[in-house]
Homo-oligomer: A and B are copies of this chain.
Amino acid sequence: MTKTAVVLLSGGLDSTTTLAIAQSQDYICHALSFDYGQRHQAELNAAKNIAKIMNVASHQVFNIAINQFGGSALTDKSQAIPEYQSGAAHIPSTYVPARNTIFLSIALGFAETLHANAIFIGASSVDYSGYPDCRPEYFAAFNHLAKLATKEGVEGHPIHIETPLMNLTKAQTLQKGLSLGVDYSLTVSCYQATDEGLACGRCDSCMLRKKGFIDAGIDDVTRYV
């Protein structure tokens, strides 16, 4: 039987690996990206390029002005991006209020119109930035909600949220992706990349990515400023 999935594709390392995993599991993949007032367009450009090269069934870019409300350094250009703090216990200022909930909700609506079986998202609770909406218990709660929220769910065909990277370190994610043929030079993870997709090498996201390449013993193919 044909399996169909919506894959959230930001253009970064994690979501691109997730797309490769979904494809390796024989899902027909529809990529979904969000233009939500990010500080830069490099990530979205990377997503478009990756969607094309990885030959997805369709790629939708959904406009949603989360920055209308403010509240995050990731969408508010008047706030500085903080440098990486090892072992920081608080939720960082790059946290975007309810971002994954908003993205998954829209993916759920899209998945329902496609009669899709699953939504794939590249969240990990191992090498992550401490965001509350990246934890396994959060996704369990969303799965429960998805069952009750939709016509598909009520009719006995709930759409399941798949988080294949949940228990992987960044290094393990890289190794998995390389085994599936992912070209990481296409991906952009930096919170403040240049328009050409060059990474700063200093933000949380760059540090986690850099450490992943080192731990995996793989050459870092990231293009830095």
List the interface of chain A (C-beta within 8 A of B).
60, 62-66, 68-71, 91, 95-102, 104-106, 108-110, 112-113, 132-133, 135, 137-138, 141-142, 144-145, 148-151, 153-154
Contact assessment for A105 and B113 in the assembled complex, using a CB-CB cutoff below 8 Å: no
Of the candidates B69, B98, B113, the one whose C-beta lies within 8 Å of that of A69 is B113
What B residues does A68 contact at CB under 8 A? Answer: 60, 62
Q: Which residues of B contact A138 (CB under 8 A)?
A: 145, 148-149
- In contact, A98 and B91 (Cβ under 8 angstroms): no
For A91, what are the chain B residues with a Cβ–Cβ distance below 8 Å?
151, 154
* A154 CA / B207 CA spacing, docked (Å): 25
Given A144-B141, A145-B141, also A97-B101 (CB < 8 A): no
Choice from B62, B98, B144 contacting A105 with Cβ under 8 Å: B98
Instruction: Name which of A65, A95, A101, A141 has the most chain B CB atoms within 10 A of its CB.
Output: A101
Query: Which applies to chain A's interface (DSSP): helix, strand, loop or mixed?
Result: helix
Given contacts A68-B62, A113-B71, A154-B91, contact A101 B135 (CB under 8 A): no
Max count, chain B CB within 10 A of own CB: residue among A60, A62, A135, A149? A149
Query: In the complex the two chains form, what is the Cα distance from A37 to B49 in whole Å?
Result: 29
| B137 & A148 in contact (Cβ 8 Å cutoff) | yes
Q: Which residue of B62, B69, B112 is within 8 Å of A71 (Cβ)?
A: B112
Shortest C-beta distance, A147 to chain B (Å), equals: 8
Cα–Cα distance between A99 and B106 once the two chains are bound (Å): 9
Instruction: Give every chain B residue within 8 A of A110 (Cβ-Cβ).
Output: 69, 97
The reply to whether B113 and A109 form a contact with Cβ atoms under 8 Å apart is no
Distance from A16 Cβ to chain B, minimum over Cβ atoms (Å)? 23
CB nearest to A106 among chain B residues: B102
Chain B proximity of A129: nearest CB distance (Å): 12
Task: Return A132 CB to nearest CB of chain B, in Å.
Answer: 5
Residues from chain B with Cβ under 8 Å of A133 in the complex: 148-150
Q: Which residue of B lies closest to A91 (CB)?
A: B151
Nearest-neighbor residue (CB-CB) of A64 within chain B: B64
A154 CB contact (under 8 Å) in B106, B112, B132, B141:
B132
